[in-house]
Structure 1
């Protein structure tokens, strides 16, 4: 099992930036505390998620996901690791775009204001982490955060996830709940229910998957630690200095598993060319074949096209 560091970001300073950036440059995963997202708000969103996934198939089907990456995806609709996965992912999900008029099932629509409160807390936290990473990389503090403008179009999505109970030994052997993959955007915030494990990260040193400990059940804590990982676009942006690491969800925990992933993306028109300052004075070499430029929005469209068949 991985022994992930937990960093308190409640009073960020240069040492906080150094600790977060160190984790981002090595494994690319870190737990954070002092983040300001209350456990009570998390509980409410998880309760909504449980109600959502109990709806009838026909009701959820009305909100089926499309090319805009919003809405419901059923069990088997995704295969995140098509090269090695025997079967498609054993999970359901519902993607909610921030600050939009997206049609939602009534169970979510009736709590839209609360969902927006949660989404804003997530976006504020991502911008705070972006500033810490910029300081840790000796860039201007707003270098990354300024490209995460909520008034502009981006691929940012809040994803409610449900992994149904694993009921057979055959399923344990042959199924993964989510295939091995990296995330697409800049940062991912993962909210987990206490005691519901299953996430595994590939250790780059050993090339083996290691379990990530889930938060421990405790009624005394006002907040739970949030798992943060670096995603592909931030890796491109930093010429590979910050690591987007392969991870998956398995059936090691066999009960129903709920999680909430906040996939933070830079503005669609953000140029993901590696930051010149990060190349200077380092051993990184940008080969001619890597000199092309891709915008964040186009990068996401290509990744989604490889994941879904709408």
Structure 2
């Protein structure tokens, strides 16, 4: 049997104060050890129906005529549609760009998008805006729990840095579509990937997934538990991350996959782990993959100083071996870090002279 990632499943739904302290400590330990955590999706924070509606709208968007999507092509503000192979998440090692399409939603004002949208989804702006708000509120809740678990003084340290009223941020709701390999004739599953190896740029990411959808020619393929997502372990091995880990197969909805981003590693001096991950073609190669990611970022002007936590102060960062180079201190603010990473991933959006040295 193929080894899979051993990621804990945590239910954060309880509002009991004692339960919250316990949950907070469990979240912190999982963030230190794995960097990835399954959040049990009870529907309390984000209704299951809202997740299903978001997936339906995502499919509608990616099924839109090409010319409609091209009118919304991604800009340097990191909003809009990116075509197949437009983004290269691991430029040092990839032969070609990522085999995926993506659409990034920035902020909404009064439930209205502040960017062009394909005509197919413009009637649904308010629903998308509401789903984005639900994701943001869940991230605020998790930030508060991490503050409690790390005994930060004050515990609201992380949460305050993510409040919209304190300024703009790089927070993005991203819809993703990975076509089946059979429709990407030029791909080589042995060499190419759907999303190159990378760590996430912000504080944390919420990832919503569904079992793979078989292509018409794939028969019953795609009904298994994997969708190509893999994480790099501390032993430097790639292991798959199932959509529904053991014990959650009968849940009404797959758990939400939470992962720690680079900025929480910055803030905690590397204590919280920003784990490198990728998306590969599954063994059969005949399935389409849809996923939804919410990349939570702090206010852009936030200084990336160590948090006021005794546990963070006493942590000795890794000085060699397995570590994430993007979690090292190279920049001063959240926005500076985001711009550094975007320039490295979207080579055609920026002039060569604008790409920073690695």
Q: Residue 128 of structure 2 corresponds to which residue in structure 1?
A: 115
Q: Is the 8 A contact 2:143 2:159 kept in 1?
A: yes
Closer/same/farther in 2, CA of residues 291 and 63 from structure 1, 3 Å limit: closer
Among candidates 21, 44, 49, match of residue 28 of structure 2: 21
Equivalence for 2:339? 301
2:304 matched to 1:261? no
1:247 aligns with 2:277: yes
Decide whether aligned partners of structure 1 residues 43 and 283 sit closer, same or farther in structure 2, where only a CA change above 3 A counts. Answer: closer
Asked if 2 retains the 8 angstrom alpha-carbon contact of 1:238 and 1:278, the reply is no
Cα shift readout 1:110-161 (whole Å, capped 9, x = no counterpart): 1111111111110010001001111111112211000101232000000000
1:222 to partner: Cα distance:
4.1
Question: 1:3 matched to which residue of 2?
Answer: 6
1:71-128 per-position Cα deviation (integer Å, ceiling 9, x unaligned)? 0000011111111111110000000012242221122211111111111110010001
User: 180, 183, 186: which is aligned to 1:165?
Assistant: 180
1:89 maps to 2:98: yes
The answer to whether 1:231 aligns with 2:261 is yes
Change (3 A) 1:10 1:298: same
Q: Is the 8 A contact 1:39 1:224 kept in 2?
A: no
Q: Cα–Cα, structure 1 residues 299 and 283, in superposed 2: closer, same or farther, change >3 Å?
A: closer
Matched with 1:52 is 61
- Partners of 1:47 and 1:301 in 2: CA distance: 31
Q: Give the conservation status (yes or no) of the 8 Å contact 2:91–2:344.
A: no
| 70 and 42 in structure 1: CA distance in 2 versus 1, 3 angstrom threshold | same
Give distance in 1, aligned partners of 2:308 and 2:98. Answer: 39
Return the alpha-carbon distance in structure 2 between the equivalents of residues 178 and 233 of structure 1. 21
2-structure distance, mates of 1:170, 1:113: 37
Deviation readout 1:148-202 (Å, 9 max, x if unpaired): 0123200000000000001269622121000000000000000001356110000
2:230 corresponds to:
200
- Contact 2:304/2:332 (8 A) holds in 1: yes
TM normalised by structure 2 equals: 0.80
Structure 1 partner of 2:148? 135
- In 2, Cα distance between equivalents of 1:40 and 1:57: 29
Task: Judge conservation of contact 2:35–2:259 (CA < 8 Å) in 1.
Answer: yes
Is it true that 1:31 corresponds to 2:44 in the alignment? no
Runs of 5+ unmatched residues, structure 2: 212-224, 320-327, 350-358
- Superimposed CA distance per residue, residues 227-260 of structure 1 (whole angstroms, 9 cap, x where no aligned partner): 0000001100110010101000000163000000
Q: How far did 1:301 drift? A: 1.0
Picking from 178, 203, 209, the partner of 2:238 is: 209
| Whole-Å separation in 2 of the counterparts to 1:21 and 1:127 | 15
Equivalent residues in 2 for 1:146-161 (5 A)?
146-151=160-165, 152-161=167-176
1:49 deviates by 0.7
Q: Structure 1: which 5+ runs fail to align?
A: none
Q: Offset at 1:280?
A: 6.7
User: How many residue pairs align between the two structures?
Assistant: 307
